[in-house]
Amino acid sequence: MKHRYLEVTFRKGRPFAAYLYLPRSVGAKAARTLDAGNGLRVDFDARDIPIGVEITAPGYVSVVELNAILAPLGVERIGPEEWAPLAA
């Protein structure tokens, strides 16, 4: 997968959970998960490259908090247009 994308699961019209898929090699799978706090968990592949961020409490996580996790990983900040489904 070459591009990242945000997948949101809704329940009763509200975001229930979300996953930010990061660019990854074909067939890459999570080998370890880091609990980043505040309802954020980062998945890494076997080469320790971040492949995704699970957002377990989308109603309590802000784009600022997510970007604070992405920056040290060397991942481009998420913009308002990508965050829009969770901000609704």
Token pair belonging to 80: 């308002």
Kindly state the percentage of the chain with pLDDT values over 90: 74
| Angle formed by the axes of helices 63-70 and 80-87, nearest 10° | 130
Mean predicted lDDT score pLDDT of the chain? 92
Query: Considering its fold, how many domains does the chain have in total?
Result: 1
> Can you give the pLDDT at residue 87?
78
Domain housing 43:
5-87
